[in-house]
Amino acid sequence: MYMNGKILFTVILCFLLIGKSYSQNQFDSVRYFGIEVGNTFLPFNIPDYSFIRADNSSNNNDNSAINLTGRYNEFQFSIKTETRSLKNKLGLLYGIRLTYITSSLGKQDIWSKNDKYFYLLVNQSNTSSEILRVNEINQNSYFIGIPLELRYFTSHNRFFRFYFKTSVDLSYKFFTKNDVIFYNDNMESYTTDVINKFAKPSPFHCNINFGAGIKLGKEGKFNINIEAFAVSFNIVKTNSSIVRTGIGGGMQVNLLIPLKF
């Protein structure tokens, strides 16, 4: 976490220094306003939970990650402004972003339609144990924050322009909803007990991205941008409390309308 903090501090400092230099050398500027939608795909792993046994076959296996499946996705909706100079190739973007993170933990055996649950130990004493059969655990979290982005165009003003991009997304969680799907409906009274077996997701979200894109549209006119992240990684690995994320990629599309100054 200490090393991740140093990386984040360095990236934000670069944004501030470049932004200051950029604003001091701005001439005939055009400011764009627009909306953006995107999806970030991050690989994930399932921790070896001591209270889960996923193998419910006769070949008893206590490794919780065996035969478990999961899901992790990040969806973004943003309202952003970009200041771009007609004298150079650099664009500076910032705004407000809503991020929706969905994750799940479940059991899906492609060889047996009846093998769709895993065992979860909720309570244990010296004399008894309470074990539930769970089909799936879902977690949905909503974050609001600020995206900061830099774009460098490889060519001068043209209808079609290619650019490289780096960005950082700083967000705070304002809502999380958990849902447990049991094998038997009469187990729903244990929903809170199941959720309490897992840690709470981190209240902060931060992604650092490196990628490229194409801009369609003349300078000072309506623009469409299509972007792909070759590298995207979370500074905070615990935005989901049921899976852990790694390094992945993503796609974004934004529509920008110019306002001249």
Q: What pLDDT score does 31 carry?
A: 81
Q: What pLDDT score does 2 carry?
A: 45
> Closest Cα partner for 234 from 243, 226, 225?
243
Residue with the two structure tokens 């000072």: 220
> What tokens does 81 get?
């402004």
Beta strands at 90-107 and 129-153: parallel, antiparallel or unpaired: antiparallel
Q: What pLDDT score does 89 carry?
A: 81
Q: How many residues does the chain have?
A: 261
Q: What pLDDT score does 111 carry?
A: 47
Distances (CA, A) of 13 to 10, 82, 137, 168: 5, 19, 39, 11
Q: Where are the alpha helices (DSSP H) in the chain?
A: 2-24, 191-195
> What tokens does 249 get?
């990629």
Q: What pLDDT score does 90 carry?
A: 84
Q: What whole-number distance in Å separates Cα of residue 104 and Cα of residue 180?
A: 10
Q: What pLDDT score does 53 carry?
A: 84
CATH level 3 topology of 2-49+70-107+139-182+199-260 = Porin (2.40.160)
> What tokens does 243 get?
């899976």
Q: What pLDDT score does 125 carry?
A: 76
Q: What pLDDT score does 75 carry?
A: 95
Q: What whole-number distance in Å separates Cα of residue 187 and Cα of residue 118?
A: 14
Tens place of pLDDT for every residue, the chain, 261 residues? Answer: 444 545 555 555 555 545 555 544 544 466 889 999 999 888 888 888 888 887 655 455 555 556 788 889 999 999 998 887 756 688 888 899 999 999 999 876 544 455 688 899 988 877 778 899 999 999 999 999 999 998 989 887 788 999 999 898 889 999 999 999 999 888 899 999 999 999 888 999 988 889 999 999 987 788 999 999 888 877 777 889 899 888 888 899 999 988 765
Q: What whole-number distance in Å separates Cα of residue 91 and Cα of residue 85?
A: 7
For the chain, give me the number of helices (H) and strands (E)?
2, 12
